[in-house]
Structure 1
Amino acid sequence: MTGQRSDARRNRAHVLAVAETEVAARGAQASLERIARVAGVGSATVRRHFPTRAALLDAVFTERVRALCDRARMLHGERDSRSALETWLREVLAYALAARGLADALSYRPLRDDDAQDSCAAALGAAGDPLVRRAVDDRAVRPDVTVEDLLVVIVGIALATEQYTDPAPQAERALRLVLAGLGTDAG
């Protein structure tokens, strides 16, 4: 973005603000054409700044994902590694439920996709991996569990419960069932 003219930076910021509102209202399938129309720009302008829907969604969720990444780093210092991991997973799930479209954004591509190094999914994976590895090292979580596994589950729970009037109770129940299966004594 450095090197862009100031009007191009303003256009991008305005398109992003409109996109945030549209995604919050309509989820990840918010119309790019509608975003362009509401922003008062052409659809080519939207696509110039955000060449794919995934790029637009990553931009919409970047700040909150950054906060979740910071939270993972903070929790890494907690004494109880299992509790720290569970706390972080609950916070990621809560945000995925509250921010329509985040689960879709995370499900667009694998966490380790070489083309997605700057994506929200890659950032969450990198931030959560030390929490998972520490819990595994402490024998608080099965050794075959990966951060990718857990984020796939979080995305699945968010997508499966998003149509509920109040998805939080059902999502919490599903997460509790998953967390129970993480123990080292589980099959």
Structure 2
Amino acid sequence: MRPLRADARDNRVRILTAAEEVFGRSPNASTDEVAKLAEVGIATVFRHFPTKVDLLEAVLTLRLERLRDRAIELAGEDDAGAAFFAFFEQVVAEAASKLAVGDALIAAGAVVGDDAKQAGASMREAFGQLLERAKKSGQVRGDAEFPEVYALLIGASRGATAAGLTAEVRSRMLNLLFDGLRRR
């Protein structure tokens, strides 16, 4: 596959940025709305992403890769506990728009493709490394294993989204959850 010209790369970035915003607000949004926000024609959108499902998949993959990259960045912080809890909080705070993109994929009858699966797996791996560092530092309980903690992350994300929690209530919820994860 040939590298994209600079203008095509710029268009692709604008389309993905617009799609992330549009589909993050509403899973029923259209590609026309994406094209309008990206300030490109609908044909340009479909040149880069032949179907709405392709576009949604690319947005989901991008979000998961960004979270993975953030987790990797935080793994370099000196305070392993603060890094772990900051990442957990970020995932929950951003969950509503990520879940909207996932819901749009489901509504389109699509299954998650290989790129998104790989991005999700690498994000989970990076989260697991944050958890292990926080446990080793003594800031997270030693018996907090990945499957349970990841289930808490998913549950808190979905719960905060379903309940439409304000930032203040979400913060209090996370403080309660984090208190249960902290080493005593």
Under TM normalisation by the shorter chain, which class is it? 0.5 to 0.7
Deviation, 1:131, is: 1.8
Provide the C-alpha distance between the structure 2 equivalents of 1:117 and 1:63, rounded to a whole number of angstroms: 11
Report which of the two has the higher share of helix.
2
Structure 1 residue 41 corresponds to structure 2 residue 42? yes
The alpha-carbon deviation at position 132 of structure 1 amounts to 0.7
Once the two structures are superposed, the pairs formed by residues 161-172 of structure 1 within 5 Å of their partners are 161=163, 163-164=164-165, 167-172=166-171
| Contact kept? 1:23, 1:101, Cα under 8 Å | yes
Q: Number of aligned pairs?
A: 170
Contact 2:23 2:101 in 1 (8 A): no
Match of 1:58 among 61, 68, 81: 61
Aligned partners of 1:31, 1:104: CA distance in 2, in Å? 13
- In the alignment, structure 1 residue 156 sits paired with structure 2 residue 155: no
Alpha-carbon shift at residue 64 of structure 1 (Å): 4.9
| Pairing of 1:106-125 with structure 2 (within 5 A) | 115=114, 116-119=116-119, 121-125=120-124
Displacement of 1:12 in angstroms is 1.9
Secondary structure, in 3 states, of the residue corresponding to 1:48? Answer: coil
Residue by residue over 1:27-62, the C-alpha shift from the partner in whole angstroms, topping out at 9 and shown as x without a partner, is 454323432455312363353387152322333x36
Unaligned runs of 5+ in 1: none
| Deviation string, structure 1 residues 50-104 (Cα, Å, up to 9, x no partner) | 7152322333x368536623442223x32xx43432233223334x16xx51344
Cα displacement (A) at 1:129: 1.4
**Pairwise mapping of residues 169-180 of structure 1 onto structure 2 (< 5 A)?**
169-180=168-179
How far apart, in 1, do the equivalents of 2:3 and 2:82 lie?
A: 44
Partner residue, 1:3: 3
Tell me the percent identity.
Answer: 24
2: CA distance, partners of 1:132 / 1:106: 25
TM-score (norm 2): 0.65
Q: Measure the CA separation in 2 of the matches of 1:91 and 1:130.
A: 16
Match of 2:98 among 93, 102, 106: 102
Task: Tell me the TM-score normalized by structure 1.
Answer: 0.64
**Matched letter for residue 155 of structure 2:** V
| Conserved 8 A contact 1:69-1:127 | yes
Partner of 1:87: 86
Structure 2 residues not aligned, in runs of 5+: 107-111
